[in-house]
Structure 1
């Protein structure tokens, strides 16, 4: 296990300084129509979040986190993405000690930094984009206010593109035990619907307990035009949420609210159903349950030029995984998924990928005709498929020299957060699978009995993984058109 320990000075940012910088950016103390519109727009974009100011109980912690992440990314270039990861990369811990202006110390630790950097590359997030959003020099963080009862704290980057989520130690340990498979899944299926965890850190401020937190992409980004949100587990028992009229709280509805809804995807239905099945298969092999599909919905405003040649070409380029462009191979010959994960966490590593599933992955590694139905349709609409050069061929030729073949690709929309956005016939949908750290153990077996008695039904969220997976898929695909 590698440790990097250094001492450094940390100057905490004051709220007054942040406000003065924001005021300067908005034109100082000007009270004109322009300034009023800026404030109104920010309010609309920040529904359900509050700014973490100097009086917030997590203000100090978040500024320490900011400094720790910046230090790892800027001062340790060796912790960058790698084409060949080793077992040591999965157990590596970069730990540093900082001293604040008031003389208090805090210890910041980044876990498996190169692995998470490789995940960022696999889902087309550059190091520069990640740094500027997750740990900008001074912009304040935001706190997410919703009806969620997960028990964890959620904070947002200032642009709301990334989430910083606290989590329990045993959940983090379990996640690290299958981190290799998690990375490989994104390399095989770059357009996966599973939420993208992009970093794992811990912080321990002098005199306070250690806190673990994960950084992840926000599925509901950009949030300003999303009118309805659902958290769907595929069961009805205890899964109703009363709509909340309070504009300062984001209400996330549940399965009973979603029961009569339909996801209208049109030509993308086949891709969505197949990718959801692949992702759920990954969870099934892990032996986890209680995961959710987040669904955000906004009315789609169709604009002219969507099928113009420049727009379609840009979408094709966006659809090619960044990892593919950099010819990254899955994990590498010198480090198999069975060798990584639990060594530093003292957790027994059980086999994740069966021989049967490995054979299935190998046989589906080649991109088939059905994966490109929308690309074919788009090329016909734009009139650029002249029989010798289609967009499908363009995309496949760009990856033919890679050491692995990504599978189940789709033509991504030309928008922000394209991996979690699907344009249906009348709505734009924001979709992603979250919360997959719950194993079906003794605690869940007891909870299953208690929930059955409480809800007077066995149709609740605490059931064995195979039952959960089948029910989850059926509930969602039956409501997808």
Structure 2
């Protein structure tokens, strides 16, 4: 019924500011991944982590020489390094492109953080295209070698997987947009009944009731978690495995001077199942078919073509401007992380997640979907200044004890506080 449908993102249709931008992004990804595939098969060098591939296209997706007229430019950073990361995570180029470009993404969400970034979901909800700040872009390039080694040497890592780093520039306004392609922590075929973003900080980490009303996918925070007396209900066996891996991952994040990351936790209640259609009607897509451009143009734009002698690119622009996105029902999507059990991360093998257990390691009716996200904030001079300023404000206002709850603290202090908060909320509630 219509009353049961809840939209997760905003529909992007003709006239939306990001309509053609999303098409350009995905055209660039498709060609760039194919280029990288052609060069695949050798050991990475340090130059591969610094490599930049510059491409230019017209609107039909045809590559142009850099000196020719073009509709947009696309930069692909460290293509072979990200190709290797995808291989380590058992993602083939064919599957990756099928998820991202066989249907065109037309659903967006604002980031729950303060950055103002946007998320765009792949058609199967498996990947997220996220816009990032220029500082995050430079940081990602600087740590990529270390990040690749960590992912390669820790197949059970809880860190978010990044699968591509790109930049697009429009010839219309010259604006640069940096973005990453990353793995989605949450599942495509399960209602996620609660979502938390946990940092271990208390400053600004509470979402009031009036912001939760009418939003089935609201992201709650640390103080909401504590107020509800939530715990990650993991028995001794799973608790030990989770805590061990989390410590390894946090030690790595401290080593690369990262901060402001969080543990995203999605909770699916097996007893409630998918009856509430929380994930229903999440995405809107459109499928411009290059092979059908001339036929479609002949039926709808024939007279315009005759009068103005429009090029194929011009026709495609008109078609895109008139295209009507189709709603995609995510309840029919398959959800498989890999083709064989031995290739899967054990934290994602039970209904695509990690099933809760009691103190006797007996399964409970909750599935957790979690991952450490937002890894691209470096503790730099700006963050040091933020910490100093907030500390002064708290001390002068008589809240001296709260200065330890500030989000912007040194990486070792941040990692220690983060680990302490998460490990204190593992297992069963203390009686």
> TM-score, normalized by length of structure 1?
0.65
Q: Alpha-carbon deviation of 1:223?
A: 6.6
Q: Alpha-carbon deviation of 1:51?
A: 2.8
Q: Alpha-carbon deviation of 1:197?
A: 0.3
Q: Alpha-carbon deviation of 1:246?
A: 4.5
CA RMSD in angstroms comes to 2.8
Structure 2 residue 352 is the aligned partner of structure 1 residue 321: no
Q: Alpha-carbon deviation of 1:235?
A: 1.7
Counterparts of 2:212 and 2:272, CA distance in 1? 29
Tell me what 1:263 maps to.
232
Tell me what 1:71 maps to.
31
Tell me what 2:422 maps to.
476
> TM-score, normalized by length of structure 2?
0.72
- Kindly indicate whether the alpha-carbon contact (under 8 Å) linking 1:147 and 1:250 is maintained by their aligned counterparts in 2: no
1:204 paired residue among 169, 176, 184: 169
Tell me, what secondary structure is at the counterpart of 1:94? Answer: strand
Counterparts of 2:205 and 2:354, CA distance in 1? 25
The verdict on how the C-alpha distance between 1:147 and 1:223 changes in structure 2, with shifts beyond 3 A counting, is farther
2:11 paired residue among 51, 74, 92: 51
Tell me what 1:87 maps to.
46
1:278 paired residue among 219, 243, 248: 248
Tell me what 1:121 maps to.
87
Tell me, what secondary structure is at the counterpart of 1:231? Answer: strand
Structure 2 residue 32 is the aligned partner of structure 1 residue 100: no
Structure 2 residue 426 is the aligned partner of structure 1 residue 460: no
Which segment is superposed worse, 52-61 or 147-156?
A: 147-156
Q: Which runs of 5+ in 2 are unaligned?
A: 61-68, 274-335, 358-363
Tell me what 1:5 maps to.
none
Tell me what 1:360 maps to.
none
- Kindly indicate whether the alpha-carbon contact (under 8 Å) linking 2:48 and 2:80 is maintained by their aligned counterparts in 1: yes
Tell me what 1:216 maps to.
182
- Kindly indicate whether the alpha-carbon contact (under 8 Å) linking 2:139 and 2:377 is maintained by their aligned counterparts in 1: no
Structure 2 residue 381 is the aligned partner of structure 1 residue 422: no
Deviations 1:395-426 (A, max 9, x none): xxxxxxxxxxxxxx7475254xx4xx211133
Tell me what 1:385 maps to.
none
Counterparts of 1:75 and 1:317, CA distance in 2? 25
- Kindly indicate whether the alpha-carbon contact (under 8 Å) linking 2:259 and 2:379 is maintained by their aligned counterparts in 1: yes
- Kindly indicate whether the alpha-carbon contact (under 8 Å) linking 1:152 and 1:165 is maintained by their aligned counterparts in 2: yes
2:218 paired residue among 251, 269, 290: 251
- Kindly indicate whether the alpha-carbon contact (under 8 Å) linking 2:266 and 2:370 is maintained by their aligned counterparts in 1: yes
Q: Alpha-carbon deviation of 1:162?
A: 0.8
Tell me what 2:296 maps to.
none
Tell me what 1:449 maps to.
388
Structure 2 residue 32 is the aligned partner of structure 1 residue 62: no
User: Number of aligned pairs?
Assistant: 339
Counterparts of 2:137 and 2:115, CA distance in 1? 15
- Kindly indicate whether the alpha-carbon contact (under 8 Å) linking 1:447 and 1:462 is maintained by their aligned counterparts in 2: yes
1:178 paired residue among 140, 143, 149: 143
Tell me what 1:240 maps to.
206
- Kindly indicate whether the alpha-carbon contact (under 8 Å) linking 1:265 and 1:422 is maintained by their aligned counterparts in 2: no
- Kindly indicate whether the alpha-carbon contact (under 8 Å) linking 2:75 and 2:166 is maintained by their aligned counterparts in 1: yes
Deviations 1:214-254 (A, max 9, x none): 00011112274111111111121221112434445732111
Tell me, what secondary structure is at the counterpart of 1:100? Answer: coil
Q: Which runs of 5+ in 1 are unaligned?
A: 1-35, 304-313, 323-408
Counterparts of 2:104 and 2:262, CA distance in 1? 31
